[in-house]
A = this chain, B = another copy of it.
């Protein structure tokens, strides 16, 4: 279904080549500042970049249909609409017969039948994440009210990987200056090179996004089932192309000893902290006051220029398939603001459920 959240709830609608995409955001505390400039800035981070991105140009102008009076939320649901302008669906008709490898054409058609809209990926398109980014701007504004800050960046693209610890201020500043959304300018250049190389070969690359959230109060998360990690993971797997998520030590924990992995409690002034953060900021599904840290793996773009093999579902024959047009040879940079937005959205909901944010403004 297309709604998520308990007290702060997003309902997503639209499709890649339909009239528009958008979402309804329910549960915004009345009086929250709705900053359309900040929204546009976040959306700009999601736009394709000349050289390494698709030439489909969408201005992604946000139109707010409801929920705002005088620049502030009224407490009733806020509706965001982004018109689709640059749509050319002619190429997609053939994918109803010959599904593209790595895409949802096949499963969508078999699940929903022939009335499903798969033009441009339909409701499975990465384009659906634009309204999430806009909703994320609002979520970040709400989080700011209790001091929480979030930042995501490209940790790895193809073979280029960032091995340094990054500070949130640096992340936010540097990522916006380089097209790959790296937290280091030099690495960003290497990542760009990695993408271009693949693109020139008609191929694509994947990568890893890291997201850091600072200044969380202790106590966010509603176990047993509605854990901080669980709620975030469910949301993150909605983003097209995600193959895995890990918190703190993550998969590296498999090779660690308990004596190394356990984060020692210590005093920092009058605050209890941990000396390491293998927990990634979560113990027992509940935030422990340390930075929340996670890594999200994104697969290489499924749409590539190379000739591929598939099946004609009408004829039940194996056929060759070449996907025309140009696509993003790497969606990692564009997914960076999406990861950040979805994490922020989930945090707002859990903060409201835990009583850290008052939904009534």
Contact = CB atoms under 8 A, between A and B. Distances in A.
B30 A11 contact: no
B354 A288 contact: no
Contact of A297 (B3, B253, B258): B253
Nearest to A307: B259
A238 interface: yes
Given A251-B244, A262-B102, A223 B66 contact: no
Contacts of A306: 259
Given A24-B11, A361-B112, A300 B102 contact: no
A172 interface: no
A227 B123 CA distance: 13
B66 A13 contact: yes
B26 A222 contact: no
Max chain B CB contacts within 10 Å: which of A77, A219, A224? Answer: A224
Interface stretch (A35-43, A103-111, A142-150): A103-111
Nearest to A284: B104
Contacts of A167: none
13 contacts: A12-B224, A12-B225, A13-B77, A14-B79, A18-B66, A103-B284, A104-B285, A112-B360, A123-B224, A208-B254, A226-B234, A233-B234, A262-B308
Interface string A42-72: 0000000000000000000000011101001
Contact of A256 (B7, B103, B299, B317): B299
Interface of A: 1-4, 6-7, 9, 11-15, 18-22, 24, 26-27, 30-31, 65-67, 69, 72-79, 81, 99, 101-104, 106-108, 110-117, 122-124, 128, 156-159, 198, 202-208, 218-219, 221-227, 229-231, 233-238, 240, 242-251, 253-267, 270, 272, 274, 278-280, 283-288, 295, 297-304, 306, 308-311, 313, 316-318, 329, 353-355, 358-361
A76 B302 contact: no
A242 to B, nearest CB: 7
A310 B253 contact: no
Contact of A75 (B112, B159, B262): B112
A105 B233 CA distance: 23
Contact of A254 (B30, B288, B298): B298
A208 B299 CA distance: 21
A81 B83 CA distance: 14
A330 B250 CA distance: 16
B302 A262 contact: yes
Given A224-B238, A309-B266, A14 B66 contact: yes
Given A81-B65, A115-B75, A355-B355, A108 B238 contact: no
B205 A257 contact: yes
A193 to B, nearest CB: 15
Nearest to A68: B18
Contact of A156 (B112, B254, B313): B254
Contact of A300 (B7, B223, B261): B261
Contacts of A128: 224
Nearest to A161: B254
A113 B31 contact: yes
A251 B123 contact: no
Given A1-B9, A311-B265, A218 B115 contact: no
Contact of A225 (B1, B78, B279, B283): B1
